Amino acid sequence: MSFLKQLLTPFVEFEDDKKKELPKQSKPAAGPAPPIQPGITPADENAHHPLITDNNSPVLAAGQTPTYSPGGTIAGPLPEHEQYFEKLIDEANAKNPLFQGTDFKEFIDSKVDIDDITDEGLKYRTAYNVLKSTGLTKEKLMSTGQEYLNIIGRDLNAFQSAHSQKFKKEVGQKEILIQKKAEELQAVTQRINALKKEINQLTQEINLTTDKLNITKNSFLLAGENKQNQIQTELEKIVRYF
C-alpha cells in the first residue's frame, strides 16, 4: 500500500463521525447574535471595549492609511485590527477552559504544516486524521469553532456599543453645539438684516432731510445775495445821479 493510500484510508472517519449522536454537553454553542449595525447601536453608558475605552492613541496610528474601493467603502481592515482578532483567538485558546486540548484552532493551524497538499479536501481530511489521535473529534471541532465565532461576535457587539457611546460623547455633543451655533447665527443674521433695514431707512431719511436743508440754505443765501446786489445797484445809481 502506498503512503498516499495510507493517508486516504482513515478518511472514512469523517463519514463515521456523522453517525455518532452528539453528546448533550458537546452541542455546539448557540450562534452569535448578529453584530449591531452602526447607527442603531443602543446607547450604553457602561459599554466597554479595549480599543475604544482603554485606547488613548489617535483613531489612526501614524502611517496607517486605509484603502478604499471605487464605491467609497473601506477595502480592507487595518493591520492592527487583524492582529487584534488573532490575539483574541490566541488568548481564548490559552485561557478559556472550553478550548483545553486540541480544538478548532489547532486544527486550522495544523493545515499550515501541510500547505504542500494542493487539494483542499485532502488537506482538511489529513489534518483531521493527524490530530484525531490527540482527542480531536468532529463534534469538538464544530463546537469549538462555533464558540470562537461567538467570542468574535460578542467582541464585535461590545466594540460597536462602546463606539456608539464614544461617538455620542465626542461627535454627538459637537453636533448639538453646531446646532446651537447655527441657531445663534440665524438669530444674528436676522438681527443683521434688521439693522440693514434700519440703516437703509435712516439713510433715506438723511438724504431727504439733507436735500431739504440744502434747498433752504441755498435759497436763503441766493436771496441774500440778490438783495445785496439790489442795494449795491441803487447805491451806484445814487452816486452817479447826484
All three cell numbers of 56, joined, read 488613548
Domain boundaries, the chain: 3-53+79-178
Using CA atoms, how far apart are residues 153 and 36, in angstroms rounded to an integer? 9
All three cell numbers of 156, joined, read 464585535
Using CA atoms, how far apart are residues 138 and 129, in angstroms rounded to an integer? 10
pTM of the model: 0.59
The CA distances from residue 225 to 130, 215, 241, in Å, are 127, 15, 24
Q: What is the pLDDT of residues 79-127, one digit of tens each?
A: 999 999 999 999 999 999 999 999 999 999 988 888 888 899 999 999 9
Can you say how many angstroms the Cα of residue 54 is from the centroid of all Cα atoms in its chain?
Answer: 18
Using CA atoms, how far apart are residues 219 and 81, in angstroms rounded to an integer? 89
Terminal Cα-to-Cα distance of the chain (whole angstroms):
165
Sign of CA dihedral 9, 5, 139, 19: negative
Q: What is the pLDDT of residues 22-35, one digit of tens each?
A: 343 343 344 444 44
Using CA atoms, how far apart are residues 24 and 226, in angstroms rounded to an integer? 126
Helix-then-strand count for the chain, H and E: 8, 0
pLDDT at 144: 96
Q: What is the pLDDT of residues 141-167, one digit of tens each?
A: 999 999 999 999 999 999 999 999 988
